[in-house]
Chain A
Amino acid sequence: MLTPHHLTLLRQDLRTLAHIEYQEVENELLDHYAMLTEQKMETGQVFEYASANAWKELGEGIGLQQIQEEFIKNIRKQISSRHLEILKSYFRWPTVIGTLFICGLVYQLSTVLGPKTIYIVTQFLFLSPGLILIYALVRKEHRHTDTRKLAWQYMNSRANIPTAFLQFNNMLPFFLNNEDKPTPFLLMHPSISTGLACVLLIYTLTFMELYRENFSYKTAH
């Protein structure tokens, strides 16, 4: 049987030589590595030789990195599927009634508030997924560094999509107008702005729902 010191040495190999970062993968591989080492020690090898031979059998780290990459890919796929599932749920019966009601309300408000206000609201909604992340970062910073790393990475990348659209909207007038003070595209087209506000509102709601999911994927360090 391996001592706690032996296990620490094996864990270090996984972290430093194979760059294993995720606790779930690390625990599973540590057990496998330890079992292989123990098997070799039973044949009379001392720990140093046994662990070195076990490491060779494990592909000297390269194969282990591949396992971690597959794990990351698998989890990302699950998060992405979950997000899509949440998004689809807004268009399923009977939730679709609520979605249509919200869109109708936004349209009614746009006629009352005028193009400038709806333009400002749309601009704010473009930034809202990012604002949710900032809120999460301030409130649960430790969770950002230790847990939910993959879910966080996914949400980070998705929050950038509306921001990129916002930048595109702000750049567009420079290409379309030759005036000194070009009018933003969405300000010139309030109906498009209203439609976008609806889409962004739904996207933000899916984002909030995804954020509230209890992802249990943990990192090793």
Chain B
Amino acid sequence: MNSNQQLLKGSLSVIILKLLEEQERMYGYEITQKVKALTAGQMAITEGALYPALHKLEAEGLLTTETQVVEGRARKYYSLTKDGHTEAVSRISELGIMLENLQRLLTLKPAI
């Protein structure tokens, strides 16, 4: 696993919540493609990480699902619950603060 993927795994649930906040409902494959497109292929979510994360968020009551038959196969759409919306705001804000601090640390000028 490269460092990009390790960072991605740690913040996967926040990414999912953020994407679902932007778009009302999404399915697994769509999420992987959206991440790939938004990061110009720099980041890729593997199925092995995505689906357990989706199932966990669903079990926590943050996501709700709806299955629809599309082109002869069942497609499971995920969307945020009311709690999911609240949690998304909180987790995105937490990650934002963490990234800001990380940015400060990484751009630290050496003491003279």
Please give the residue numbers on chain A whose beta carbons come within 8 Å of chain B beta carbons, in ascending order.
1-2, 4, 7, 24-25, 27-32, 34-36, 58-59, 63-64, 66-67, 70-71, 74, 77-78
Contact = CB atoms under 8 A, between A and B. Distances in A.
Contact of A59 (B48, B56, B71): B48
B72 A4 contact: yes
- In this complex, the interface size class of chain B, counting residues with CB under 8 Å from chain A, is 10 to 19
Contacts of A58: 47
Contacts of B27: 31
Contacts of A27: 67, 73-74, 76
Nearest to B53: A70
B47 A67 contact: yes
Given A2-B72, A27-B76, A36-B29, A74 B51 contact: no
4 closest residue pairs by CB, A with B: A70-B52, A63-B48, A27-B74, A35-B29
B76 to A, nearest CB: 5
Interface string B12-48: 0000000000000001110000000000000000111
B37 to A, nearest CB: 13
Given A58-B47, A67-B47, A78-B59, A31 B75 contact: yes
B74 A31 contact: yes
Most buried by B among A28, A36, A63, A67: A28
Contacts, number: 61
Given A74-B55, A78-B59, A64 B72 contact: no
Contacts of B70: 31
Classify the interface of chain A: helix, strand, loop or mixed. helix
A1 B51 CA distance: 24
Contacts of B72: 2, 4, 7
A31 B52 contact: no
Contacts of A2: 71-72
A28 B29 CA distance: 9
A28 B71 contact: no
Nearest to B52: A70
B73 A31 contact: yes
Interface string B64-108: 000100111111100000000000000000000000000000000
Given A4-B72, A29-B51, A64-B48, 4 more contacts: A27-B67, A31-B28, A31-B75, A70-B51
Nearest to A65: B48
Nearest to B48: A63
B51 A28 contact: yes
Contacts of A25: 51
